[in-house]
């Protein structure tokens, strides 16, 4: 059998934290498509994986292996000590890098990318009068290895998560955290009440961005925009979660974010999963990607001028958590332009300048930190 033929889009070391046996080989799962509950008998080795998911050259798989090796050591220490890393240390940047890449590398994200590409291709082709709408309906546009595109995009934009604050959420109830085959949840409580073209998506560069990642049945890490949210006590790096409703809400996020499978340990019952399904099934997304066309008027040639863009369809379920409050800036948020939703405008413009230098061959796409260091040296 070829080496690394079966490629995991959710790492085995991560799923083992939710294992049902001491050896870390078995896990419980619930399949959302078949409504099938499997208690402690699913084999982690065979979960969240596909043959050659990232391609036959195995380059991405090898790269993920290196990241997973570093991350597993960091998370092992976080879990054993129940203490998050210090800000902007190697441990911190390792976890946020892992989280952003894990969000991008799953089957859900691959299908989202294909859906967006298909929408864009059909929208652009529909502008040609010789192409009939019924012909487009019978076509499907995509990629041979769709997972490669979102991973490549995320890898180039890892920096956008580095300014997010973070806290460790400690589950002090009898109900464990669960996870899924798309475990990194992007959410934005700030955007939810605002129904505008600027707040349709939940991107990591947005104001109010939140990232929920379960680490074990007892621990979750939350990355968040500290200018928008107050989380727990001001000078504490962890939050002790004692409210059962909070645990249900965060487990509900996993239900909503999953593509097909929820994963959990032996302490999660079928009745509890049924409770989550009853409570959250109406909030499941009907599509993964949306498309808009913004008309800008007529050009000199009397043709319509417009911009077509796709966006990620985010989760919206009216999330409320007892330990998260809006700051004054969050309460006064009122977006009027696209720039109003960007969390760090200076960083946004710096990145645009950096990419222009990449196009000139002065930097590589993974050298944004070197660019920032050079910028700092030149401004001293």
For the stretch 352-363, pLDDT in tens is: 888 899 889 999
CB < 8 Å & 24+ apart, contacts of 72-75: 72/11, 72/13, 75/14, 75/17, 75/215
Looking at the DSSP assignment, which residues form a beta bridge with residue 170? Answer: 219, 240
Burial class from Cβ neighbours inside 10 Å (0-12, 13-18, 19+) for residue 263 reads buried
Q: Give the pLDDT score at 114.
A: 96
Q: Give the pLDDT score at 200.
A: 57
Residue 48 has a CB neighbour count (10 Å cut-off) of 25
- In the chain, where do the E strands start and end? 6-8, 26-31, 36-43, 49-51, 165-171, 179-180, 185-187, 210-214, 219-224, 229-231, 238-241, 261-264, 289-298, 304-312, 324-326
Per-residue pLDDT 10s for the chain (380 aa) are: 445 589 999 999 999 999 999 999 999 999 999 999 999 999 999 999 999 999 999 889 999 999 999 999 999 999 999 999 999 899 999 999 999 999 999 999 999 999 999 999 999 898 888 988 888 988 899 999 999 999 999 988 888 899 999 999 999 999 999 999 999 999 999 999 887 655 556 788 899 999 999 999 999 999 999 999 999 999 999 999 999 999 999 999 999 999 999 999 999 999 999 999 999 999 999 999 988 887 777 666 656 677 788 888 999 999 999 999 999 999 999 887 777 888 988 877 887 888 899 889 999 876 777 888 898 888 77
Q: How far is the first Cα of the chain from the last one, in angstroms, to the nearest whole number?
A: 57
Count CA atoms closer than 13 A to 285's CA, side-chain side: 20
pTM for the whole structure: 0.91
Q: 231-254: buried (b, 16+ CB within 10 Å) or exposed (e) per residue?
A: bbeeeeebbebeeeebbbbbbbbb
**CA–CA distance from 66 to each of 11, 44, 93, 109, 352 (Å)?**
12, 20, 15, 21, 29
Residue with tokens 């944004």: 368
Q: What angle do CA 209, 212, 218 make, to 5 degrees?
A: 155
Q: Give the pLDDT score at 196.
A: 61
């Amino acid at each position: 059998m070829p080496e690394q033929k079966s490629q995991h889009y959710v790492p085995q070391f991560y799923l083992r934290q939710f294992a049902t046996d001491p050896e870390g080989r078995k896990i419980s799962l619930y399949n959302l498509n078949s409504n099938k509950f499997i208690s402690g008998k699913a084999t982690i080795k065979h979960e969240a994986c596909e043959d050659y998911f990232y391609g036959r050259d195995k380059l991405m798989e090898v790269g993920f292996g290196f990241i997973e090796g570093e991350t597993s050591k960091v998370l092992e220490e976080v879990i054993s000590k129940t203490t998050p890393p210090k800000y902007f240390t190697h441990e911190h940047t390792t976890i946020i890098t892992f989280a952003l890449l894990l969000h991008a590398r799953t089957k859900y994200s691959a299908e989202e990318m294909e859906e967006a590409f298909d929408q864009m291709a059909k929208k652009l082709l529909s502008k040609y009068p010789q192409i009939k709408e019924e012909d487009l309906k019978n076509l499907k546009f995509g990629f041979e290895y769709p997972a490669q595109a979102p991973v490549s995009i995320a890898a180039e934009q890892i920096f956008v998560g580095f300014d997010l604050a973070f806290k460790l959420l400690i589950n002090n109830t009898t109900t464990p955290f669960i996870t899924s085959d798309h475990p990194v949840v992007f959410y934005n409580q700030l955007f939810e009440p605002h129904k505008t073209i600027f707040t349709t998506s939940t991107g990591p560069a947005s104001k109010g961005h939140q990232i929920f990642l379960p680490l074990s049945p007892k621990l979750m890490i939350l990355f968040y925009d500290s200018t928008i949210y107050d989380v727990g006590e001001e000078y504490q790096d962890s939050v002790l979660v004692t409210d059962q409703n909070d645990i249900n809400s965060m487990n509900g996020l996993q239900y909503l974010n999953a593509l097909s499978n929820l994963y959990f340990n032996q302490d999660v019952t079928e009745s509890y999963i049924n409770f989550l399904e009853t409570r959250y099934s109406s909030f499941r997304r009907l599509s993964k990607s949306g498309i808009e066309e913004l008309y800008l008027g007529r050009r000199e040639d009397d043709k319509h001028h417009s911009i077509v863009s796709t966006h990620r369809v985010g989760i919206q379920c009216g999330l409320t958590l007892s330990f998260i409050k809006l700051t004054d800036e969050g309460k006064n948020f009122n977006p009027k332009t696209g720039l109003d939703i960007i969390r760090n405008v200076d960083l946004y413009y710096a990145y645009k300048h950096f990419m222009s230098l990449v196009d000139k061959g002065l930097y590589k796409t993974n050298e944004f930190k070197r660019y920032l260091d050079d910028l700092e040296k030149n401004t001293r």
